[in-house]
């Protein structure tokens, strides 16, 4: 009897029961006192491990909304580990050992921004909008584009002309972009991906590079491989 009670006490962290208070506050007393809350918020009663656990079930807009409710929620919802876990869940298991300079939430946000810009690049190709392509690229003399033909174009104007030509080719058929991986630094990001055409075994390996200027990302480099079939270059059928 005594053993059981003692063991239970051990497991209960020595917490004593108080009349009428079912949920003992697990927050440090000082932190609670400092805040003078009226009407205890339920979230504050959760121990950090549970909060972190519950947060893993939230998507990024829900986490952001939670952080907008109050300062305590913000601390919980901005938790670095929660955002790291979400990053690995939503983007890639790679980059496990990096330490983002501004924390994982900022890195998640930057990565999502890059993924959006990169997706926009492919939307522009689908819509063949030269004006949108013009807004996507940085207007600079060093930007470069290597098309699937193997040709290299340098400078903003030459790159835009190359896209005009590309949009005039009747490409037909859709394509699917898969295995998109982004690495984002403060003012530069690069993305690799596979673009499948028609059938599953025909694809281009592609790389895109972006630079951050005046509050937004601009494409500065696009490089496509030749068409690959089952991972091998196509035989002499590439359009020149």
Instruction: Give the residues lining the site for another protein (CB under 8 A).
Output: 1, 3-5, 7-8, 11-12, 15-17, 22-24, 35, 37-43, 45-47, 49-50, 53-74, 109, 112-113, 116-117, 119-120, 216
Q: Which is nearer to another protein, 57 or 240 (CB)?
A: 57
Are the C-beta atoms of residues 204 and 195 closer than 8 Å to each other?
Answer: yes
Rounded to a whole number of angstroms, the minimum distance from the CB of residue 119 to another protein is 7
What is the number of other CB atoms lying within 10 angstroms of the CB of residue 40? 13
Short-list 220, 227, 226, 210, CA closest to 153: 220
**Which is nearer to another protein, 42 or 237 (by Cβ)?**
42
The DSSP annotation for 74-130 comes to HHHHT-HHHHHHHHHHHT-S---S---TTHHHHHHHHHHHHHHHHHHHHHHHHHT-H
Closest contact distance (angstroms) between CB of 87 and another protein is 14
> Shortest gap between Cβ of 146 and another protein (angstroms)?
24
Q: Which is nearer to another protein, 80 or 144 (CB)?
A: 80
Pick the closer one to another protein by CB: 59 or 200: 59
In the complex with another protein, which residue's Cβ is closer, 37 or 168? 37
Distance of CA 8 to the CA centre of its chain: 44
Minimum Å gap between C-beta 43 and another protein is 5
Smallest gap, in angstroms, from Cβ of residue 187 to another protein? 17
To another protein, the closest distance from the beta carbon of 206 in angstroms equals 19
Distance CA 68, CA 110 (A): 19
Phi, psi of 54 (to 5 degrees): -65, -35
Nearer to another protein by C-beta: 157 or 216?
216
Contact call for residues 207 and 190 (beta carbons, < 8 A): yes
- Do 83 and 103 form a contact (C-beta atoms < 8 A)? yes
């Amino acid at each position: 009897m005594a053993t059981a009670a003692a063991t239970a006490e051990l497991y209960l962290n020595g917490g004593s029961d108080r009349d009428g208070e079912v949920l003992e506050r697990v927050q440090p007393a000082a932190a609670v006192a400092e805040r003078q809350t009226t009407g205890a918020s339920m979230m504050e009663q959760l121990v950090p491990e549970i909060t972190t656990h519950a947060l893993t079930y939230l998507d990024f807009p829900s986490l952001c909304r939670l952080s907008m409710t109050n300062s305590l929620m913000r601390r919980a919802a901005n938790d670095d580990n929660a955002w790291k876990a979400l990053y690995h869940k939503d983007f890639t298991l790679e980059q496990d050992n990096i330490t983002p300079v501004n924390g994982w939430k900022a890195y998640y946000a930057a990565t999502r921004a890059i993924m959006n810009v990169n997706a926009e690049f492919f939307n522009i190709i689908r819509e063949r909008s030269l004006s949108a392509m013009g807004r996507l690229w940085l207007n600079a003399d060093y930007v470069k584009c290597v098309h699937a033909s193997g040709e290299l174009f340098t400078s903003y104007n030459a790159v835009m002309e190359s896209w005009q030509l590309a949009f005039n080719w009747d490409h037909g058929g859709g394509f699917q972009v898969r295995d998109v991986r982004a690495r984002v630094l403060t003012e530069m990001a690069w993305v690799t991906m596979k673009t499948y055409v028609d059938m599953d075994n025909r694809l281009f390996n592609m790389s895109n590079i972006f630079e951050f200027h005046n509050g937004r990302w601009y494409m500065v480099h696009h490089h496509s491989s030749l068409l690959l079939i089952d991972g091998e270059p196509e035989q002499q059928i590439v359009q020149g």
